[in-house]
Structure formats: C-alpha cells, structure tokens
Structure 1
Amino acid sequence: MFRRLQLMIARLSATRPGAWFVRACIQPLDRFVLWISGGRFGIVSLFYPTLVLITTGARSGMQRRTPLIFFPDGSRLVLVASNFGRPHHPGWYYNVLANPQVHVNIYGHTFSCRAREAVGIEYLELWERAVRYYPGFAAYARRAGRTVPIIILDLNTPT
C-alpha cells in the first residue's frame, strides 16, 4: 500500500504541472519544516528518504542547504541531479563538482562526505536502480533532454 502511494506521488510529480507544484510549493515548505526540525523530518521525507545536502557555493563560497531524495547503496548515498526535468543541471550539482567535500544531514544527524560523479557501468547500474526507486527520474530525463548526473556520497564520520 505504501509503495503504491510512493509511485502515485512519483507519477504526479513527473508531470510538468506536478513538478512545478513540488518545486514552487512543496520544496520551500519542506525546507522550512526541515529547518525547524533540525533535519529530523520534512514533508517529502514522509514518502521518500530525504537528506539535506550542505555544500559550499561554487561561485559565492557561501554554505548552501538543499533537501534531496536519496537512496542508500551500502555505505554510500546516491543523489540524482534531475532538477525536476529542467534543461540545466541543478545548482547543487555545480557546487559539488567545485567543492566535493560536503556534509549531509539525515534525520537530524550530520555526516561529512566526499562526493563524486558516477560514470560508465556504475552510472548505468545506479540509473536503473534510481528509476525503479523513483520513476519520476525517467520522465525528468526525457523532458530535460540531457543525461541526468548521479552523485555518490562516500560517508565519512558523524560531525
């Protein structure tokens, strides 16, 4: 039953109006709820595991916080830079490329991580898993007309 709800939400958010609604309405509210809860819970995290990615801005050098859906892969965390199907990569992706030492807050616990982009066979395997996990990623990639990057976070120690 819960998986059906997840799939229904993924299908709805994969449409242009659904993606707009999530990006314009749900995401700002989710950021606020995550902020006041210290990252312990958010709106999206009721349906999909969510983390707060803490990066250093590629151009500004300022700290940036971005809530993202993730899925675990052993001791690694996997992020998909879909940007809701927009034609350009999300800002957090460029921040990670410029400054791969990042932090994540997962349910109130902060960890330092080293980020890297998946390539080759690893990318293909993770993309297949990502689409099974959240079917909206496939629709986002089609709409964006670009290869959607996958970022792997290798967990270090809690901070």
Structure 2
Amino acid sequence: MAGLGVRIVQRVSSTRAFAKVAPQVVPALDRAVHRLTRGRFLLSAQMLPGVILTSTGARSGRLRRSPLACMPQQDGRGWLLVGSNFGRPGHPAWTHNLLAHPDASISWKGRDIPVTARLLTGEERAEAWAALLEFWPPYATYQSRVTRQIRLFRLTETPFRRV
C-alpha cells in the first residue's frame, strides 16, 4: 500500500494545479512544522527527504531559509538539491543565492550542518539527473514544462566555520 501512496503523490505532484498551489503552501507548512518541532520534522519529508537550506541572499546579503526536497548521498555527507521550482518557468531564488554564495547550512534531521554548494554540469550533472529521476520521477515532468535546464546542486558537508 505504501507504494500506491507514493505513486499517487507522484502523480498529483506532477500536475499543473499542484505547481500553482504548492510553492505557496508547501514551504509555509514546512517552515511552521520545522519551527514547532525545533528542527526535528518536516511535513513534506514524509514522502521525500527534505532539508531547510539557509543561504545568503544573492542581492540582499540576508539569510534566507528555504524548505527543499533533497536526495541524500550514500556516503551520508552530501545531498543533491533540484531547482525544479515545481516545473514553473524561472529558476528558484535559492539557486541564485547558492551561485552567488556557495557557503550555506542545512537543517537535516534536527542537526544544523555547514555545507558548500556546487552547481553540477556536464557528465556529472547527467549522472545525477538520471539518479534523481529514479529517486523521484516527477522531476522529468517538471523539466518537460520549462525551456530552462533545471539546476542541480551537490551540497557537501564542510568543517565548522566561524563567522
């Protein structure tokens, strides 16, 4: 039955209606639940692993918090982030932030972890994209709706940094 539930969520998350509503609803719910549970829980992570990314605004320089789905790497020290924007035309703001300021942090399972982000290109991107499509097939639908290439980032845990 769990497989059926996942397939239903994948089908719903691939619809244009979901793409219209989700960007306002999902992050707001995730931020609220994350705050109430002191970083131990993300509502959307019940179907897909997720992090709260804290990045520095590309133009403002202010800290920005974005709840995002992720694909944890097998070594447990890295994560892939997908700038799908739910299949909407523009790149999400957090991708601009990481391009301008790759040092960031994530909240992952109640831990705050300093990370460095790197935009994936070429063969490395192609391999990551194939793995992501196996992990969450709706990403293919999101890509088919837009002319831009969806940005993929690899986050790597970095040693503690003093500010």
**Structures share fold, TM-score greater than 0.5:** yes
- Of residues 91-100 and 136-145 in structure 1, the stretch that sits farther from structure 2 once superposed is 136-145
Q: State whether residues 6 and 48 of structure 1, in contact with CA within 8 Å, keep that contact through their aligned partners in structure 2.
A: no
> How many angstroms apart in 2 are the aligned matches of 1:101 and 1:23?
24
Task: Show the 5 A alignment for 1:10-25.
Answer: 10-25=10-25
Unpaired runs of at least 5, structure 2: none
SS at match of 1:70: strand
SS at match of 1:66: strand
Corresponding residue for 1:91?
93
2:71 counterpart of 1:71: yes
Q: TM-score, normalised by structure 2?
A: 0.91
- Counterpart amino acid of 2:119? E
> How many angstroms apart in 1 are the aligned matches of 2:45 and 2:64?
19
Task: Show the 5 A alignment for 1:92-111.
Answer: 92-111=94-113
SS at match of 1:116: strand
> How many angstroms apart in 2 are the aligned matches of 1:23 and 1:3?
25
**Percent of paired sites with the same residue:** 34
Q: What is the Cα deviation at residue 158 of structure 1?
A: 6.3
Corresponding residue for 1:118?
120
- Of residues 52-61 and 19-28 in structure 1, the stretch that sits farther from structure 2 once superposed is 19-28
> How many angstroms apart in 2 are the aligned matches of 1:84 and 1:158?
32
Corresponding residue for 1:2?
2
Q: What is the Cα deviation at residue 7 of structure 1?
A: 2.8
Q: TM-score, normalised by structure 1?
A: 0.93
> How many angstroms apart in 1 are the aligned matches of 2:86 and 2:95?
13
Q: State whether residues 7 and 135 of structure 1, in contact with CA within 8 Å, keep that contact through their aligned partners in structure 2.
A: no
Q: CA RMSD in A?
A: 1.5
Q: How many residues of Structure 1 are paired with residues of Structure 2 in the alignment?
A: 159
